[in-house]
Amino acid sequence: MFIYSVRAAKLKAVLIFLACAAVVTLVVFAASRRAGVYPGDVLTDVRTADPSSYEGIRTQEDRISFLSSRGWKVEEEPVKILQVKVPAVFDAVYDRYNQIQIAQGLDLSPYKGKDARLYTYVVTNYDYEGTVWADLLVRDGRIIAADLCSADVNGFMHGLDKNNDILGPAK
């Protein structure tokens, strides 16, 4: 049998420390929510997109027009069309990817475990030496996720706004 005793002074000090840590965490969380920044977000300039602009995307022309409205020219035909399932539980990679989506007015969370169709287009007007793809994840005529990424292993990934690069080259 193992017996461990704790003096009241040590216990009191630990409890005071934990209480202070909880108060600081709550203050930081409240201040960040008031400022429009959420814990875990990498991006700070967000949520400006009109949610209705992601609706009514049913045809090839709709998808190309949508990308064009964001300033991107793409090849007429997608290089890839896949039926995919959004994971029911997000790992760290999906959490980070969802940060890109939240930054542009989307959120994959409501679609966990749901099927969607992924359309990948080659972007022709991105100032980059390699191949750049535009990915649109569509469910029931609504874009639920979108990104631009390079085909390079150590490339980049960001939302439709080129300035929101959070998954850049490995350093």
Q: In b/e form, how buried is each residue of 100-136, taking b as 16+ CB within 10 angstroms?
A: bbbbbebebeebeeeebeebbbbbeebeeeeebbbbb
Q: What is the residue-level pLDDT of the chain in tens, covering all 171 positions?
A: 555 554 655 545 443 444 434 333 433 344 344 434 343 443 333 344 455 578 999 999 999 999 999 999 999 999 999 999 999 999 999 999 999 999 999 999 999 999 999 999 999 999 998 999 999 999 999 999 999 999 888 889 999 986 554 544 433
Q: Is 40 exposed, middle or buried (0-12, 13-18, 19+ CB in 10 A)?
A: exposed
Look at residue 10 in the predicted model and tell me its pLDDT. 54
Structure confidence at residue 153 (pLDDT): 84
Is-contact 107 98, C-beta < 8 A?
yes
Q: Which residue in 84, 78, 72 sits closest to 145, CA to CA?
A: 84
Give the model's pLDDT for residue 154. Answer: 84
